[in-house]
Structure 1
Amino acid sequence: MEIVAQAAQRFGNAPALITAGRRWSFADLHADTARIAAAFEARGVRRGDIVALVAPNSVPLVLALMALMRMGAVAAPVNHRFPASHVEGVIQRLKPAMTLDATILDAFVTDALARRDAAFVATTEMERPASIIHTSASSGKPKAALHSLANHYFSATGSAQNLPFEPGDCWLLSLPLYHVGGYSMLYKCLLGGGALAIPSPDTSLAKSLAGFPVTHLSLVPTQLYRMLRASGGPERLRSLKALLLGGSAVSPALLDEAIRERAPIYLTYGSTEMSTQVTTSPGPVTLARGDSGAVLPWREVAIAPDGEILVKGECLFMGYLDDGGLRTARDAEGWFHTGDMGELSEDGRLTVLGRKDSMFISGGENIHPEEIEEALCSIEGIDEAVVAPAPDAEYGARPVAWIEARSNAPDDAAISASLAQSLGKLKTPVAIHRVQEWQTLPGSAKIDRGWYRKLGESEKG
């Protein structure tokens, strides 16, 4: 039995989707997605065809993604915030059988749900391609990661063994569906029986938490920082069963603050290629240890001799789509090289040290910018930091920092003195620049680290 039909059989009238105006049960999902799948087939979409969807989070998008899941087509949600030329380039490379933007998608789903004929051919083959999720790229074209149904199934199953999501629970869809963290929520819902709350795109996080019976929440550190300072934010976070925190490194100061507020933080490390989570805290963290939790079921992690994090397992994607072909991106032993540097403790906990391609050598010593950024963000008044190398005649390269600082932050001399004491002189930035607004990746809120690296290369040593 395919995944949506099985969810309807298991969970029946339990809530599956919740909006401000309506609730869908799992039985409703079964009926509605069957109609939409039939409409796709009527438009000529067949098993294995790619369908691109360029739209923000919405009920029609969720229903369409589940319908494509059921019929064996390959869903490719695309970042609608990309510039039009960028979206056009992505579509040209995908060569989809069908492309739907937000307006066309809404009309297509509305028309499909008005039809009585819901006959379509469901598929249950686990190894078939199911989705294409694009990875972030600082320049050039983003990579198209192809996942199988099995990848998403085992990802959700392994996550649930550590962090259950069951009938009566509600997870706020706070991440975009064109990111693997957002898309994975569909499988967590269908396999676990919890409901997804879908806020309107213009609703703030704080207002969404106040308007839905949320028990589970996924955030990146910037969102956590804002929630801890929002009116009633700490109390609302405290009421959750679980707050999954990932996406980027979290500063010790922010984590300590969340722990003091008794927010049920689960730290996680993951990637698009591994269908989202790789490691997660076994329980709510009570101490800022610096690790990203333990390896979840159906995943394997190893550390290469040079310190790079290697991953494999049932969750590892099928490969990248390149010019119509599939590149597996695995080494001879089946490992995927993440590009992240890390350490694995004897008890199986992973500590992420930073990106391999961001590391540089200064005076013969390996410098990880993330270590310096973490130290900067531990200083009161500094909210965000980026560190990159600048050429230096004596050392080869020295670190330069850009910081987002509040009025209570120390001056540059005091910051340098603090870092020299905690990290040593070699890791102390030779220059500190204060920014009001960050340079971000196209169509994303992520800081464009490549841009700052190039800026560092232009600094005078």
Structure 2
Amino acid sequence: MDIVAHAAQKFGDQPAIITADRRWSFGELDGDTARIAAAFEACGARRGDIVALVAPNSAAILLALMALMRMGAVAAPVNHRFPASHIEGVIARLKPTMTLDAAKLETFITDALNRTEASFTSATEMSRPVSIIHTSASSGKPKAAMHSLSNHWHSAMGSAQNLPFGPGDCWLLSLPLYHVGGYSMLFKCLIGGGALAMPSPDASLADSLTPFPVTHLSLVPTQLYRMLRTDGGQERLRSLKALLLGGSAVSAPLLREAIREQVPLYLTYGSTEMSTQVTTSPAPVTEAQADSGVVLPYRKVAISPDGEILVKGECLFMGYLEENGIRTARDSEGWFHTGDMGELSEDARLNVLGRKDSMFISGGENIHPEEIEKALTSIEGIEEAVVVPAPDAEYGMRPVAWIKARSDALDDAAIIASLRDKLGRLKTPVALHRIQTWQTLPGSAKIDRGWYRNHV
């Protein structure tokens, strides 16, 4: 299926991409991406070849990704915020036919759009690979996850059945295109007919919302926290049709605040390997709930005997690209083991407890750091928390916490007393460390838990 051509036939003059300087209709998108696809072919890129794009979000990279999809090449958007040595390692493992950084990409797209002919060979097989998205590397080096057109198509179709996105709607591209949540927006746009708004890469989230008629927004909890404290932020969020919130655990105070401000909030759980969303709230949340919504169409979820979340279905990726080819990473029954621990209710609602590799045993009891972190951030004045195990002669391991707290937060003794009442003595941290900024993974906003485990 050539979904760009199909979208042009279906949605015609409806806006598809909106920037500060220009609007592309679906018809114009069809013509421009055809010219770019022809330019890639003229430079030697062929079906199945990998093309690496090391650049921030822009109209140029968005057009390039769609063009590569149409001609059958495999797009590999790479995190440009990685250290140079990290990027070199990623490129060396990918072995791409072409690599374009931000400057080269802009020149390539400008030249391509000046072409008069747009002859290219369209690839239509649903099973063909179209993207390589790297995992966030929360442990070890990032893995190169390869997805087919079918994976992304079914992901967008299942999402749309739960959260419609059609003509007249506008989704702000607030996530990077090298992230599966950002890349998935292409398919939400092309399948549903809503427009994507491309903000300036230097603009704040609040400033990015102002120039565009945004109806849908995807955020991580930190972004939501900041928006609720920005002048006019509450009113702007309240005016949306939907705010999709995921990427990490949401604290109960933040959830209650968003509900109190009448933000149309949809909680979601997903992964790179499942082409983004796995579960999502079926309607805007109205109370501080523990679950991440219901299992979406084209996905299946199960819980293993030891409590690990297992997933499969049409959205499950092709596998990890490794030196010797594609490793499917599925067990004998086709399940992918996520590394997350969770509980699944009878009505298919998923409660994510935390990472399997974060869990530790203290005095014979399984301890999930995320449970303690949620309890910490439920205390007034504590904005964020990270809990890791520390060696203990008597119990084997005991929890230690780092917290980011406001000046009006309780003192350490009061925090410890509150946690002991909520969680019991064994789950209460033996030490609290107050910090202003977090140690994060290279090129990522994710907290580097390994650093804290090594500094207890």
Normalised-by-shorter TM-score class: over 0.9
Mapping of 1:287-366 within 5 angstroms?
A: 287-366=287-366
Distance 1:241 1:394 in 2: 53
Distance 1:410 1:210 in 2: 37
1:22 equivalent to 2:41? Answer no
Q: What does the per-residue CA deviation read over 1:420-445, in whole Å, with 9 as the maximum and x for residues that have no partner? A: 00111110000000111110000011
Structure 2 residues without counterparts, runs of 5 or longer: none
1:228 equivalent to 2:193? Answer no
Query: Which residue of structure 1 lines up, in the alignment, with residue 171 of structure 2?
Result: 171
Distance 1:159 1:450 in 2: 33
Using the TM superposition, give the Cα deviation of residue 210 of structure 1 relative to its aligned residue in structure 2, in angstroms: 1.5
1:104 equivalent to 2:104? Answer yes
Amino acid at match of 1:19: T
1:199 equivalent to 2:199? Answer yes
Query: Which residue of structure 1 lines up, in the alignment, with residue 67 of structure 2?
Result: 67
Using the TM superposition, give the Cα deviation of residue 6 of structure 1 relative to its aligned residue in structure 2, in angstroms: 0.1
| TM-score, reference length from structure 1 | 0.98
Distance 2:195 2:131 in 1: 22
1:440 equivalent to 2:440? Answer yes
Using the TM superposition, give the Cα deviation of residue 450 of structure 1 relative to its aligned residue in structure 2, in angstroms: 1.4
Mapping of 1:57-456 within 5 angstroms?
A: 57-138=57-138, 140-456=140-456
Distance 1:413 1:158 in 2: 48
C-alpha root-mean-square deviation of aligned residues, in Å? 0.7
Query: Which residue of structure 2 lines up, in the alignment, with residue 39 of structure 1?
Result: 39
Using the TM superposition, give the Cα deviation of residue 208 of structure 1 relative to its aligned residue in structure 2, in angstroms: 1.0
Q: What does the per-residue CA deviation read over 1:48-79, in whole Å, with 9 as the maximum and x for residues that have no partner? A: 00000000000000000000000010000000
Using the TM superposition, give the Cα deviation of residue 447 of structure 1 relative to its aligned residue in structure 2, in angstroms: 0.6
Amino acid at match of 1:104: K
| TM-score, reference length from structure 2 | 0.99
Amino acid at match of 1:155: S
Distance 1:263 1:374 in 2: 21
Distance 2:406 2:31 in 1: 52
- Secondary structure at the counterpart of residue 403 of structure 1: strand
Using the TM superposition, give the Cα deviation of residue 21 of structure 1 relative to its aligned residue in structure 2, in angstroms: 1.4
Distance 2:194 2:260 in 1: 28
Distance 2:253 2:47 in 1: 49
Distance 1:336 1:138 in 2: 18
Using the TM superposition, give the Cα deviation of residue 139 of structure 1 relative to its aligned residue in structure 2, in angstroms: 5.3
Distance 1:169 1:155 in 2: 19
Q: What does the per-residue CA deviation read over 1:109-167, in whole Å, with 9 as the maximum and x for residues that have no partner? A: 00000010100010110000110000011454210000000000000000000000000
Distance 1:279 1:181 in 2: 14
Distance 1:337 1:408 in 2: 42
Amino acid at match of 1:239: S
Distance 2:324 2:243 in 1: 39
Amino acid at match of 2:241: K
Amino acid at match of 2:86: H
- Secondary structure at the counterpart of residue 397 of structure 1: strand
Using the TM superposition, give the Cα deviation of residue 416 of structure 1 relative to its aligned residue in structure 2, in angstroms: 0.2
Amino acid at match of 2:195: A
Q: What does the per-residue CA deviation read over 1:355-387, in whole Å, with 9 as the maximum and x for residues that have no partner? A: 000000001110000000001011111111000
Q: What does the per-residue CA deviation read over 1:244-300, in whole Å, with 9 as the maximum and x for residues that have no partner? A: 000000000000000000000000000000000000000000011110000000000
Distance 1:200 1:324 in 2: 39
Distance 1:99 1:159 in 2: 32
Amino acid at match of 1:333: E
- Secondary structure at the counterpart of residue 426 of structure 1: coil
Structure 1 residues without counterparts, runs of 5 or longer: 457-461
Amino acid at match of 1:342: G
Equivalenced residue count is 456
Using the TM superposition, give the Cα deviation of residue 324 of structure 1 relative to its aligned residue in structure 2, in angstroms: 3.9
Amino acid at match of 1:79: N
Distance 1:368 1:211 in 2: 43
Distance 1:140 1:116 in 2: 46
- Secondary structure at the counterpart of residue 235 of structure 1: helix
Amino acid at match of 2:389: P
Distance 2:347 2:187 in 1: 29
Instruction: Pick which of 231-240 and 320-329 moved more.
Output: 320-329
- Secondary structure at the counterpart of residue 190 of structure 2: helix
Query: Which residue of structure 2 lines up, in the alignment, with residue 459 of structure 1?
Result: none
- Secondary structure at the counterpart of residue 35 of structure 2: helix
Amino acid at match of 2:299: R
Amino acid at match of 1:223: Q
Amino acid at match of 1:288: A
Query: Which residue of structure 1 lines up, in the alignment, with residue 3 of structure 2?
Result: 3
Distance 1:71 1:454 in 2: 47
Distance 1:451 1:136 in 2: 15
Identity of aligned residues (%): 80
- Secondary structure at the counterpart of residue 182 of structure 1: helix
State the 4+ residue runs in structure 1 displaced beyond 6 angstroms: none
Instruction: Pick which of 137-146 and 334-343 moved more.
Output: 137-146
